[in-house]
Structure 1
Amino acid sequence: MIGRSIGRVVISDVSPAVSCGQWPSRAVEGETLTVAATVFRDGHDLIGANVALSGPDGRGNPFTRMRQVGVGADRYEAEVRVDSEGLWGFRVEAWADPVSTWRHAIEIKTGAGQSTDELSVDFEDGARILLHALPGVPESRWAEVQHAVSALRDDTLTDPHARIAAACDPALVDLFTRCPLRELITRSPLYRIWVDRPRALFGSWYEFFPRSEGASLDPPRSGTFATAAERLPAVAAMGFDVVYLPPIHPIGEVNRKGPNNTLVTGPDDPGSPWAIGSDAGGHDAVHPDLGTIDDFDDFVARTRALDMEVALDLALQCAPDHPWAKTHPEWFTVKSDGSIAYAENPPKKYQDIYPLNFDNDPAGLYHEVLRVVRYWTSHGVRIFRVDNPHTKPVQFWEWLIAEVKSVEPDVLFLSEAFTRPPMMRTLAKAGFTQSYTYFTWRNTRSELETYGRELLETAHYMRPNFFVNTPDILPGYLQEGGDPAFKIRAVLASMMSPSWGVYAGYELFENTPVRTGGEEYLDSEKYQYRPRDWAGAEHAGRSLAPYLARLNRIRRDHPATHWLRNLRFHHTDGDEFIVFSKRSGGAQGDDCVLVVVNLDPHNTQETTVRLDMPALGLEWRETFDVHDEISGTDYTWGQENYVQLDPATEPAHIFDVRRRK
């Protein structure tokens, strides 16, 4: 019986591949990817391999030669470039290389001193192989090949080296490297790559509640899209690319939550934006206090005019008075007493929210959510931050995202799934563009390095977004670390991850929890208006905005920070510091950033940094110049360097690494 699972030449362990090719890997427009595979065959004949790449329009590069890497590992690699959005595909092709096999053997035999008479058959075999390969090379090079054939058949040449000189000439070797004679061709399965626009990988996010901008507490009054738009120039000045808005829809009246998540509400309490729906409408409506859909369109337009874009919260849950609860009770879980079950995470209860049930009428609910998403994309929304996607079926997200992207491939989805790693990774595999992460709870050197390496293992499909805080999460490190902690976490998030984000109030050092040991903010903006005195804080020197602006400028100036795959960690004496670098080259430009951070927000610390010089593109004993992008100071560094950082003044170095001339 002839085997079918393995070709004549064996191809295995192809990358990038997600779950053996079940889902596409990820890239962004203009990215250069490394395709790799293990390739070998029986016997000693030489082989070759190439990548056949096809784009969404059917065009691509059908032949990119792969090079063998390492010694004895049979591993082959090639770089390919994807330059447009959409679904790409590639196969690895492996084949026997008779030209290289013959050349390798004849060079060994002549080198061993075999005579012309002994090699007569080898000369003729080589001539026939070159003639067989002739149709595969450009006609302009035929004369070189024919000259080599003539030399191999020239009995007047008594020196074996002279007989093979033309056939083994480097120019001809290069020609057959680029235009090989391929026999016994074996092809891998088709592997897919979904290519997004660059914002899918790189961006700085800023989250704020429109209702708090321009709001009043006495008398209680909501802000509007118009007053919120007045905040946009300051957000743009800090260098942010994405303005993320929590739900902007009508808020339920039934079981509305009061300040600090209390069950008792007054007539002026606005409720939680995540309790979506009322008599004023549902997921395809805007809260009347914020304005109209035309006002929202104006907000989107003003955001774009500042070179930013809007990300909208997609929270698939309902308040008890959402229109769906009346018209489609089958979309919810009905209890034995006939009531609809509200959300619970025992012992927590969310009486103001009904979770959706995706099993009773999947077709109806699926298409209604698709309608809602397309409604908002028709109003200029190209990014959705999805609330708690791990509480909905993965197959639903796979379907929804594919349906949206089949028509609008530039739409992006951020997964807000703080849950078990297998679910987070599977959501990414199934289509989510970006993912929230555990960064918020990783504080020590060991935790950060371990987590960074873990993310590197999934970088071909799971793109992290490092939020330093959220309306739900005030980390203990920020509560206890004082002002330096805010700088430290901002440096770590913005330099480690291509995408990072902050929730409004971070730049004002807000760090008071509702209770000791908890992660909820006191007077949480989720349940009440939170107007802030931005100008007063900046005037008093109590604003981190200039520092955030500097970090975002550094990110924009350094292409190396735009990627995750290039993250490398370096050694320090002691655990008070973390040191990491990012280096890019080729299509991404020659750029290298080295970051040194004192993780202790309370004390001056010192250490010796020991660098992995090749990771910086340098020789082990080489010295080089570094320019601190924060302080503006220049230093000369080598493989070992002394560092002292006082968090009260500046807890980090962000170095531009410059090779000495």
Structure 2
Amino acid sequence: MTGRFPIEDVTPAVSGGRYPAKAVVGEVVPVSAVSYREGHHALGVSVAWRGPDGKTMPFTRMTPGTPGLDQWHATIRPDQVGRWTFSIEAFDDPYRTWRDAVVKKIGAGQGAEDLANDLSEGADILDLATKIVPAEHEERVRDAAAALRDRQRSLFSRVTPALDLEELLWHNPVRHLVTTTRSFAVWVDRKRALYSAWYEFFPRSEGAEIGPDATPIRHGDFRTAALRLPAIAEMGFNVVYLPPIHPIGKINRKGRNNTLVARPQDVGSPWAIGSDEGGHDAIHPQLGTLEDFVAFRERAEELGMEVALDLALQAAPDHPWVREHPEFFTTKADGTIAYAENPPKKYQDIYPINWDNDYRALRDEVYRVVMHWVNAGVKIFRVDNPHTKAVNFWQWLIPKVKETDPDVLFLAEAFTRPAMMNGLGKIGFTQSYTYFTWRNSAAEMREYLEQLLTSIDWMRPNFWPNTPDILHESLQHGGPAMFKIRSVLASMLAPSWGLYSGYELFEHVARPGSEEYIDNEKFELKPRDYAGAERSGRSLAPYLTKLNRIREQNPALHWLRNLRFHEIDNGALLCFSKRDAETGNTVLGIVSFDSTDVQWGNTTLDMPALGLDWHDRFTVVDQITGATYEWGQYNAVRIDPYVEPAHIFVVRAG
């Protein structure tokens, strides 16, 4: 920044502006800065922002925050996908300086003769303003300037028209000594980048048949998997995520439960990608053809869902890359290619990528693969373990894809160090998995969400109660109520959430001593009787449907920036709210983390966060049970996990 006035601490500015901040179409994005000047003259501050096409948006003036801190605030609301830019401008505001002085002098008893210079200066300022205000206001401003110069009028009638221009000249100010910061970027995605509900399932298990000892008799395919789509859509999910759909390696194939030696009939792990049947741009022959996949995707879209594909950059020993591009991998001293290891775990069926042998060729090959699927209609990728790949590669790939297809979204499956997770968000990943699964008390969850709110400009969380790899002990031992608790927390706290199939059937048996499912679907077919479970009342599907319907009907739940926590005097309970300022929609949630015992609590609500005054009474309507209560700031709450472990209230003014 160069110019007359200091401008500091601009937000959003990710890593000082090195990376674009994130937003979605229609999101209200807060902008702030610190700016100040010498003396008592008025300072104005504004946001100059431009759309992806370079078009300048309407003048947006910033308002001062807490007195004495010189912090200025405004909001912008981008309305299209692409790279937006903004800068902060500080300027001398002669009208406000003049107005403040005149009001004080008249209040001190000074008359027209004392104010002769002030009246003349004010008229000159209004002459400048006539060139700035919209055409329909020019005459009004011109008349106010003439009144200031008319000595035949009383002092009151001379100054009143000019003083009444305060609001008009706030939004259309005369600006002197304009100082401008550098440009900051905001990448704006379509709304699904922030608000989404994911459902993960293995197409090969849908319509499959198995015999004794999980012996495959019939392998599911895209046609049979498509029969599952209406039920997923009915539950309210809008993203169907498929594990890798490519040919599975035959060399060193893993057997059931990750055993080192597979039986001839074992189907192997979809993440061991590639065989003599093809690599990352091919489809497993037993799933069908590319045409079958496109038909599956189109069916999902007919039902209001998108298909997300897994992008797992690794290879089975018989992947075509191993033969055609051995330089993509690491060769050990004995001449063999190194397989993946995470001691004590060994993955003999997977070769990790080496990013330092022939980076450019590898980069271009992965881009080709991604664009192959983009051209097949895929707009969402769930990226497997991106933190084990070169960060600069992602920093190149994601913007490269968005150059031609800005609607493509990337979810980072990165359960790793915070710096890496945040870094992946900064360099372009649309969403990220999180530590949600391992935050299992109200205090832990609140602390974690408050932490995530500080990184909202670059990292969008996606909350998952379970995955094929993760069955937390709370689900192993917490009973059906815990399945409800975790799904309420995931779906209500985060705008994006997801779960892995089987959750609605309360699958909870783990391999002893681990957080992994026994008889893991990663290594075998697992057909499920969803319809039978629903008929017998042993399915969580109706509850999940209700949660997603609540999300859809309440715009407050579509955002994360609006999350606020409220005090409650029981550590087993979490109290939070979200409010949509545009519609006034307000959701208040109280969730128990105890799946076995009744819990009581007393709330102390932050009433302004609910859009209410401190003394207001209001009505809350429970969206799960339909019960209605009259509430105020202080309320007693009883939660019985065997009835309902959570309240999800919509707040209605009294």
TM-score normalized by the length of structure 1: 0.96
1:618 aligns with 2:615: no
Task: Indicate if the aligned counterparts of 2:570 and 2:600 stay in contact, CA closer than 8 A.
Answer: no
Structure 1 CA distance for aligned equivalents of residues 435 and 401 of structure 2 = 28
Q: Which residue is equivalent to 2:276?
A: 279
Q: Which residue is equivalent to 2:184?
A: 191
Q: Report the 3-state secondary structure (helix = DSSP H, G, I; strand = E; otherwise coil) of the residue aligned with 2:23.
A: strand
Task: Indicate if the aligned counterparts of 2:482 and 2:595 stay in contact, CA closer than 8 A.
Answer: yes
1:146 Cα deviation from its structure 2 partner: 3.2
Task: Indicate if the aligned counterparts of 1:214 and 1:222 stay in contact, CA closer than 8 A.
Answer: yes
Structure 1 CA distance for aligned equivalents of residues 246 and 522 of structure 2 = 14
Pick from 176, 194, 214 the counterpart of residue 207 of structure 2.
214
Query: Residues 192-224 of structure 1: CA distance to partner in whole angstroms, max 9, x if unpaired?
Result: 111111110101100000111111212513211
Q: Report the 3-state secondary structure (helix = DSSP H, G, I; strand = E; otherwise coil) of the residue aligned with 2:198.
A: strand
Q: Report the 3-state secondary structure (helix = DSSP H, G, I; strand = E; otherwise coil) of the residue aligned with 1:275.
A: coil
Pick from 161, 164, 175 the counterpart of residue 159 of structure 2.
164
Structure 2 CA distance for aligned equivalents of residues 14 and 339 of structure 1 = 53
1:261 aligns with 2:254: no
Q: Which residue is equivalent to 1:532?
A: 528
Pick from 215, 218, 243 the counterpart of residue 246 of structure 1.
243
Q: Which residue is equivalent to 2:46?
A: 50
Task: Indicate if the aligned counterparts of 1:603 and 1:647 stay in contact, CA closer than 8 A.
Answer: yes
In the TM superposition, structure 1's runs of 4+ consecutive aligned residues that sit over 4 Å from their partners are: none
1:465 Cα deviation from its structure 2 partner: 0.4
Pick from 595, 603, 607 the counterpart of residue 601 of structure 2.
607
Q: Which residue is equivalent to 2:511?
A: 514
Structure 1 CA distance for aligned equivalents of residues 245 and 132 of structure 2 = 62
CA RMSD of aligned residues (A): 1.3
Task: Indicate if the aligned counterparts of 2:129 and 2:141 stay in contact, CA closer than 8 A.
Answer: no
Q: Which residue type is aligned with residue 327 of structure 1?
A: E
Structure 2 CA distance for aligned equivalents of residues 515 and 312 of structure 1 = 31
Task: Indicate if the aligned counterparts of 1:27 and 1:195 stay in contact, CA closer than 8 A.
Answer: yes
1:9 Cα deviation from its structure 2 partner: 1.5
Q: Which residue type is aligned with residue 594 of structure 1?
A: L
1:6 Cα deviation from its structure 2 partner: 4.4
Structure 2 CA distance for aligned equivalents of residues 292 and 176 of structure 1 = 65
Q: Which residue is equivalent to 2:549?
A: 553
1:581 aligns with 2:574: no
Q: Which residue is equivalent to 1:326?
A: 323
1:160 Cα deviation from its structure 2 partner: 4.0
Structure 2 CA distance for aligned equivalents of residues 228 and 179 of structure 1 = 59
Pick from 384, 403, 428 the counterpart of residue 387 of structure 1.
384
Q: Which residue is equivalent to 1:651?
A: 645
Structure 1 CA distance for aligned equivalents of residues 201 and 531 of structure 2 = 16
Task: Indicate if the aligned counterparts of 1:51 and 1:62 stay in contact, CA closer than 8 A.
Answer: no
Q: Which residue is equivalent to 2:175?
A: 182
Q: Which residue is equivalent to 1:11?
A: 7
Q: Which residue is equivalent to 2:310?
A: 313
TM-score normalized by the length of structure 2: 0.97
Structure 1 CA distance for aligned equivalents of residues 141 and 281 of structure 2 = 69
Query: Residues 504-526 of structure 1: CA distance to partner in whole angstroms, max 9, x if unpaired?
Result: 0000000101113x101000001
Structure 1 CA distance for aligned equivalents of residues 179 and 431 of structure 2 = 35
Pick from 22, 28, 33 the counterpart of residue 24 of structure 2.
28
Q: Report the 3-state secondary structure (helix = DSSP H, G, I; strand = E; otherwise coil) of the residue aligned with 2:231.
A: helix
1:474 Cα deviation from its structure 2 partner: 0.2
Q: Which residue is equivalent to 1:437?
A: 434
Task: Indicate if the aligned counterparts of 1:110 and 1:160 stay in contact, CA closer than 8 A.
Answer: no
Query: Residues 304-336 of structure 1: CA distance to partner in whole angstroms, max 9, x if unpaired?
Result: 111111000000000011000111111111111
Unaligned residue ranges in structure 2 (runs of 5+): none
Structure 1 CA distance for aligned equivalents of residues 134 and 67 of structure 2 = 33
Structure 2 CA distance for aligned equivalents of residues 652 and 145 of structure 1 = 58
1:108 aligns with 2:104: yes
Q: Report the 3-state secondary structure (helix = DSSP H, G, I; strand = E; otherwise coil) of the residue aligned with 2:425.
A: helix
Task: Indicate if the aligned counterparts of 1:578 and 1:597 stay in contact, CA closer than 8 A.
Answer: yes
Task: Indicate if the aligned counterparts of 2:461 and 2:494 stay in contact, CA closer than 8 A.
Answer: yes
Counterparts in 2 of 1:541 and 1:23: CA distance versus 1, 3 Å:
same
1:423 Cα deviation from its structure 2 partner: 0.4
Pick from 128, 132, 139 the counterpart of residue 136 of structure 1.
132
Structure 1 CA distance for aligned equivalents of residues 313 and 324 of structure 2 = 16
Structure 1 CA distance for aligned equivalents of residues 181 and 205 of structure 2 = 55
Task: Indicate if the aligned counterparts of 2:251 and 2:318 stay in contact, CA closer than 8 A.
Answer: yes
Structure 2 CA distance for aligned equivalents of residues 236 and 175 of structure 1 = 50
Q: Which residue is equivalent to 1:566?
A: 562
Q: Which residue is equivalent to 2:358?
A: 361
Task: Indicate if the aligned counterparts of 2:14 and 2:20 stay in contact, CA closer than 8 A.
Answer: yes
Query: Residues 478-532 of structure 1: CA distance to partner in whole angstroms, max 9, x if unpaired?
Result: 011011100000000000000000100000000101113x101000001111111
Q: Which residue type is aligned with residue 447 of structure 1?
A: E
Worse-superposed segment, 110-119 or 357-366: 110-119
1:485 aligns with 2:518: no
Structure 1 CA distance for aligned equivalents of residues 115 and 188 of structure 2 = 53
Structure 1 CA distance for aligned equivalents of residues 638 and 166 of structure 2 = 55
Counterparts in 2 of 1:604 and 1:139: CA distance versus 1, 3 Å:
closer
Q: Which residue is equivalent to 1:594?
A: 588
Structure 1 CA distance for aligned equivalents of residues 510 and 303 of structure 2 = 34
Q: Which residue type is aligned with residue 183 of structure 2?
A: L
1:118 Cα deviation from its structure 2 partner: 2.6
Structure 2 CA distance for aligned equivalents of residues 548 and 116 of structure 1 = 73
Counterparts in 2 of 1:656 and 1:335: CA distance versus 1, 3 Å:
same
